[in-house]
Amino acid sequence: MHLILFIVFAGFCLAGAINLLIQSHPINSALSLIVVMTSLAVLYLLLGAEFLAAAQVIVYAGAIMVLFTFVVMLLNAGREDRTLGSRAARMVGFPAVVVILGVMSTVILKAQSLGVASLSDGITSTEELSEVLFTKLLLPFEVTSVLILIAILGAVALAHNDGEEPGEGTRSK
């Protein structure tokens, strides 16, 4: 069971990720990313992180991606068209990606101490998580909430519209 579930949902992840790269319209990319997020939530469940799975769906797929979709629609982003690209990106970037993937894979495959994921004894209850979160790490927790508040304020300030239309900012004053 574990294996089948893993293969299916890992496949969904990879498919979503590759689709994100292939698609030219940003809304398609956003939807693919939602697929990746929810598949990852299932994988978290397989690894025993119940709370995180829920949080992944609620926060990531349910809020952040919705925000992305809103912005795509707000800005009326269209299909990408061909541009010059960057020589540096092609010459330096892709080898970098290959190197990153290669190095990490090599290290992972060579590692001796990894075991197997077991469904039975790897479950972390929410109670455990919250016990640490609300006693030892209470301060970071509260600071995080302040952080989100600041982010909201910042976002409001940055995106505040003084009545301008898009593109008005480029007209020389």
Site for other proteins contains 36 (CB under 8 A):
yes
- Cβ neighbours for 13, distance < 8 A, ≥ 6 positions apart: 35, 36, 39, 40, 43
Site for other proteins contains 140 (CB under 8 A):
yes
Site for other proteins contains 139 (CB under 8 A):
no
Site for other proteins contains 57 (CB under 8 A):
no
- Whether the CB-CB separation of 1 and 17 falls below 8 Å is answered with no
Quote the CA–CA distance of 24 and 30 in Å, as a whole number: 11
Site for other proteins contains 134 (CB under 8 A):
no
Going from the C-alpha of 156 to that of each of 5, 133, 159, 161, 167, the distances in angstroms are 41, 29, 5, 9, 19
Among 54, 138, 163, 166, binds other proteins (CB under 8 A): 166
The closest alpha carbon to 26, from 67, 79, 75, belongs to 79
Give min distance, CB of 115 to other proteins, in A.
Answer: 6
**Side chain identity at 99, as an amino acid letter?**
V
Q: Which parts of 65-84 interact with other proteins (CB under 8 A)? A: 67-68, 71-72, 74-75, 77, 80-81, 83-84
Among 8, 138, 142, 144, binds other proteins (CB under 8 A): 144
Q: Which parts of 73-132 interact with other proteins (CB under 8 A)? A: 74-75, 77, 80-81, 83-97, 99-101, 103-105, 107-109, 111, 114-118, 122, 124, 128-129, 132
For the chain, the residue count is: 173
Give min distance, CB of 99 to other proteins, in A.
Answer: 4
